[in-house]
Structure 1
């Protein structure tokens, strides 16, 4: 299933489950600096688009575009590997948690470099995701998917990045990225939460259901809390998210 098809199928819950977290938004705005015109590639519902600048959203999925809120920046259907944007047409190219869905991620990054002198990419360390307790203990099949995806280090190297910033997940993070509920495990029992996670949507449903049954049992018995009591005292956790900045 391509990224476009995937999000046309599972994207119906994204506006509910994927809400802007102001802490990540502040980091992205700082990385964009003084850029006034921005191409948001793989824009989705526009969760991390600045409201005080000129933004062109580029998104392949009709379902994701449909969920963009009233007043959002204009959106054009396009894939990252062939952007309908002139060379150096914008000040910055923004790509938030999208590169791992691209069919040819290197070609997509080349397009970011072509259209803008500044590239700001939010990606993640796939090995950190593979080691996430949900994957390790409940749905290890997700690891097979993660191993096929480019990791943050790969993306930074390809872009020749000037900086890579760790973006930890606060325990009360409002954007339902896959590991967002690292300290709130009962959230994964909610089908709406799972529908907003592409890693779960792309994994065998039988494996996911098996894992959820075991998680429900472990929460009921107290086994999860006993096994992960060290997490309960943390205010934030490094799930591998990295903000990559590259300037030509």
Structure 2
């Protein structure tokens, strides 16, 4: 993941901003944990305040974008955490497990170093059914099929709870399906770069899909085909908050 995000993570912080509607449930899921390890922390978007947080991030580019005052960060990978067993009350992993080369080894490490594991992941099958994938860039589905899905992660951890986190229509964290009701956003190269699913898909396939979307927006075809979405306040894109 290191080299990948050193390349595709440039400008990441521009499109990926903390949304309080996810921040509150993520922090609440940590319970009474005082010491927290944030694994695959990226820019630290969902690191809790008023706790003893240590971040782990392999990408120098992502570390560079961490804001002043962010938690101290150790450059390491999830599969080999440089901490003794039981060091932390809780381990946090927000939208990162699908990037780990050996996700099972990474989750085993989370269990080794912490008493509680809080993982935000997504159901890859639901992501593959997203209209942007299904109708415009179907090549993304092959990438999603190669990634661990939230049900697999929950089963591996022996989860105590799995909570759906719907995506509000005006979501500020630019995850891939964030613009499900604002399709014009996918025409923006900054938005495309901040979505790893697009950044890791063939540029030719993305360009073709974006061109078709542009045409469908101009003709009104997209609104016609997706009229049922236009009044929804939120939508379930498959994101799941897993606690073990």
- Same fold, TM exceeding 0.5? yes
Paired position in structure 2 for 1:196: 194
Residue 121 of structure 2 aligns to a residue whose secondary structure is strand
Paired position in structure 2 for 1:135: 133
Residue 122 of structure 1 aligns to a residue whose secondary structure is strand
Paired position in structure 2 for 1:66: 64
Residue 127 of structure 1 aligns to a residue whose secondary structure is helix
Q: Which moved more, 1:236-245 or 1:10-19?
A: 10-19
Paired position in structure 2 for 1:51: 49
For residues 47-83 of structure 1, the C-alpha deviation after alignment (integer angstroms, 9 at most, x for no partner) is 0001211110000000000000000001110000000
Distance in 2 (CA, whole Å) between partners of 1:218 and 1:4 is: 37
- Number of residue pairs matched by the alignment: 244
For residues 140-190 of structure 1, the C-alpha deviation after alignment (integer angstroms, 9 at most, x for no partner) is 000000000000000000000000000000001000000000000000000
Query: Alpha-carbon deviation of 1:25?
Result: 0.4
Normalising by structure 2, what TM-score? 0.99
- Which aligned pairs between 1:227-238 and structure 2 lie closer than 5 A? 227-238=225-236
Paired position in structure 2 for 1:212: 210
Query: Alpha-carbon deviation of 1:30?
Result: 1.0
Distance in 2 (CA, whole Å) between partners of 1:60 and 1:34 is: 28
Distance in 2 (CA, whole Å) between partners of 1:233 and 1:67 is: 35
Distance in 2 (CA, whole Å) between partners of 1:41 and 1:29 is: 15
Pairwise CA RMSD:
0.4
Distance in 2 (CA, whole Å) between partners of 1:160 and 1:213 is: 43
Residue 46 of structure 2 aligns to a residue whose secondary structure is coil
Distance in 2 (CA, whole Å) between partners of 1:52 and 1:11 is: 28
Paired position in structure 1 for 2:164: 166
Residue 117 of structure 1 aligns to a residue whose secondary structure is strand
Query: Alpha-carbon deviation of 1:6?
Result: 1.2
Distance in 2 (CA, whole Å) between partners of 1:133 and 1:158 is: 29
